[in-house]
Structures are given as C-alpha cells and as structure tokens.
Amino acid sequence: MTTEQIISLMSQQGLRITEQRRTLADLFAGTDNYLTPKDVYEHMAQKYTGLSFDTVYRNLRIMNDMNVLEQFVFEDGIKFRAHCQEHHHHHHLICLHCARTIPFVYCPMDGASGIPDDFAVVKHKFEVYGYCKDCQS
C-alpha cells in the first residue's frame, strides 16, 4: 500500500489525519517488513519528542481495527505491517526465517462445525508458520 492509500482508508473511516498518523502511513508504506510496536515507537520518537508508547500502540490498534494494518503474532511478540493487497478473504503462510508472507485462499472456518449456537463469530485469523523454499536449503 502507498502512503496515500493508507491515508485514504483511514480518512474514509472517519479517522482524523494528523501529522503523526501521516508519519505512520509513510513508515508502513515504505517497508515490507514486520514492525514491532517498539520499532514504530523508536522511529516516531526521533521526530516527535514527548510521544508516548501508549499513543503509538493505540494508533497501531486503531489502524489494525480499520484493516489498514495487519497484526501478526510471532514467537517474539506482536508485529504489524501494511494490509496486503488481496481483495478477497484469505490467510497467510509466513516464513519463520525470512518473514516472507505468502497469501493463500483457504479458510478453515468454511463449513466449520462445533461452534456453539450461542456464539456469533465476527472475525478470525489464521496463519501458518514454516519455512519458504529458499530458507529450507
């Protein structure tokens, strides 16, 4: 996603576009890597003195809830990256060595049984972790 696409998504959902949020959009548009909240905070703190970690984390959560960012849980903690460009429901294969992310169209929730009738599923996540072809050698 480009900076303008990220800003447009946030704006369409009613989020006020501040200078700090524009900087967040630039950061995520400019990297294919996963960023920890600490990575983001350290980047932002260089430009915005007095910025709190809570403010950064709250904005990451808001952007995740708006589907601007995607949150992934790795063994070493939560990381974020810009939402991928797939336009249909999909999940991800994630390499534990190089962090390459491969979208794939499969959903274990399709036809899922065993969910109690009194529970309404509103969203879910499914990632498969392993090693890509390049990292297996």
Q: What is the mean pLDDT of residues 22-46?
A: 93
Per-residue pLDDT reduced to its tens digit, 70-116: 898 888 889 999 887 766 788 888 888 888 888 888 888 887 788 89
Q: How buried is 49 (Cβ within 10 angstroms: 0-12 exposed, 13-18 middle, 19+ buried)?
A: exposed
List all residues 6 or more positions away from 88 whose beta carbon is below 8 Å from its beta carbon. 105
Confidence of residue 43 (pLDDT cuts 50, 70, 90): very high
User: 60 falls in which pLDDT band (50, 70, 90)?
Assistant: very high
At residue 95, what is the residue type?
Answer: C
Which ranges constitute the DSSP H helices of the chain? 3-12, 19-29, 37-47, 53-65, 133-136
The mean per-residue pLDDT over the stretch 27-56 comes to 93
**What is the C-alpha separation between 1 and 70, in angstroms, rounded?**
12
Q: Specify the pTM.
A: 0.75
